[in-house]
Amino acid sequence: MRYAILGDIHSNIQALDAILAEAQKHSIDRYISVGDVVGYGADPVACIERLQRVDAVVVAGNHDWATIGRTDTTFFNSYAKAAVEWTTQVLKSEHKEWLARRPLTTVVDGRLTIAHATLHDPSNFDYIQSYSDAARSLNQLDTEVCFVGHSHVPLAFLVSDRLCLSLAHSIDLSMIDRALINVGSIGQPRDENPKAAYAIYDGGTRHYALHRVNYDIAQACARILAAGLPDVLAERLRFGR
């Protein structure tokens, strides 16, 4: 079984389509999204419908929840808030209902755990910023690996005899007891690499690989500006931050 794990898409259909085209070459059996399908970008409807078409397993992120009024936007910056308000107007009720049905965490095929932000307190949408944050989620983990998003920065916490941090893009998990892996972001990378990020996990060999894909950033920016969303949401895509 080969899984494609899709991090924070954020309504960026240009990036998502580039990823899906690339993923097809790797004979993917199942698509998984770690949430934040919407927010920031200009094509929330297309992104939701693409995930429905590939029958993806999807958990909800904080922007998804904000869009359906399930979490308040007090801690969102003004650009994120503007995008949430715009997205709320653009989505039809069927899209909001679909978002509302997404769980905060789930287990795929009894072996892959999925959450947007953390596993230990998923509805708070905290960031995993330290070994102790990672350990709290890893302590809740009953499967070999947990995939998350939220920070838009790919990295992995690996547990064998001790907990360590890895920035490697290719990891053999067969020698690892448990792993908590952030797969980066498709629609708004923040690791100073503007290419869209997604991961492939091979359930047979337990090999994890992060992939980076070029996409039409100019078109994604043009869509954001045409929608009247804040300029900064377009600008940051060019720099990956």
Residues in contact with Zn ion by CB under 5 A are: 8, 36
Provide the strand spans (E) within the chain: 2-6, 30-33, 57-58, 105-108, 112-115, 145-148, 155-159, 163-166, 170-172, 178-182, 196-202, 207-213
Give Cβ neighbours of residue 10 (< 8 Å, ≥ 6 apart).
36, 37, 38, 39, 40, 41, 63, 185, 186, 187, 188
Least spacing, CB of residue 190 vs Zn ion, in Å = 9
What span, in angstroms and rounded, lies between the C-alpha atoms of 187 and 131?
26
Least spacing, CB of residue 16 vs Zn ion, in Å = 14
Least spacing, CB of residue 184 vs Zn ion, in Å = 11
The residue (of 158 and 220) whose beta carbon lies closer to Zn ion is 220
The residue (of 8 and 22) whose beta carbon lies closer to Zn ion is 8
Least spacing, CB of residue 55 vs Zn ion, in Å = 22
Q: Which H or E run includes 65?
A: helix 62-67
The residue (of 123 and 143) whose beta carbon lies closer to Zn ion is 123
